[in-house]
Amino acid sequence: MTDRLQAAYSVFMKYGFRKTSMDDIAQEIGISRQALYNQYGSKQELFDAVVVHMSTLSRTEAQKALAQPDKPIQERLIEAMDCRIGNHIDDLRTSPHSHEIILAFEAGQSGKAVKEHSLNLIREAFIRDGLTPPNGSLEDFLSTLKHVIEGLVHTVASREEFLQELKKAIRVLLG
């Protein structure tokens, strides 16, 4: 299953969401199109499964990063968001269809769930550690961080730039 989803990820990155066909993915995996449709009822369902798979791979690492009380919260946030998002930036930038893939991710239910889960991980870390953002509102901080990250995903050229800009944003938001 994991190999199939990884293969589907590669095909989506190569052709984009719109131009990728179930035939393309079935051929890459080495199964019939009908077998692929039997497993995933639609291309959107398969794309969502790929998103969930990629998210699952990064979730544990992000949780570990946020659960390091010996590190400042700023460092933990950067490390966690690198696990959740940063490690996909270079793949996206090598695809001529990155903008379309990002939009498909943002529009899908699984993409929305991944974002919400990431914010919940951060919320839990702040609450667990008794931390409060300088402006006093954790929800305002989380909302602003979400929008900053969304903007960075659309604009940065590399993982390195993502991390540099994220560090600046977190420094401004948390001091």
Condensed to tens digits (0 to 9), the pLDDT of residues 159-174 reads 999 999 999 999 999 9
Q: Is residue 20 part of a domain?
A: no
Q: Is residue 143 part of a domain?
A: yes
Condensed to tens digits (0 to 9), the pLDDT of residues 33-73 reads 999 999 999 999 999 999 888 888 888 899 999 999 899 99
Measured over the CA atoms of residue 154, residue 157, residue 163 and residue 165, the dihedral's sign is negative
- As given in the structure block, the two tokens for residue 161 are 């730039």
Q: Domain count for the chain, please give it.
A: 1
Q: Is residue 26 part of a domain?
A: no
Q: Is residue 71 part of a domain?
A: yes
- pTM for the complete prediction? 0.84
Q: Is residue 122 part of a domain?
A: yes
Q: Is residue 103 part of a domain?
A: yes
* Amino acid 64: pLDDT: 95
Q: Is residue 8 part of a domain?
A: no
**Whether residue 95 has pLDDT greater than 90:** no
Q: Is residue 3 part of a domain?
A: no
Residue carrying structure tokens 């131009």: 19
- Domain range enclosing 83: 51-174
3-state secondary structure the chain: CHHHHHHHHHHHHHHHHHHCCHHHHHHHHCCCHHHHHHHCCCHHHHHHHHHHHHHHHHHHHHHHHHCCCCCCHHHHHHHHHHHHHHHHHHHHHHCCCHHHHHHHHHHCHHHHHHHHHHHHHHHHHHHHCCCCCCCCCHHHHHHHHHHHHHHHHHHCCCHHHHHHHHHHHHHHHHC
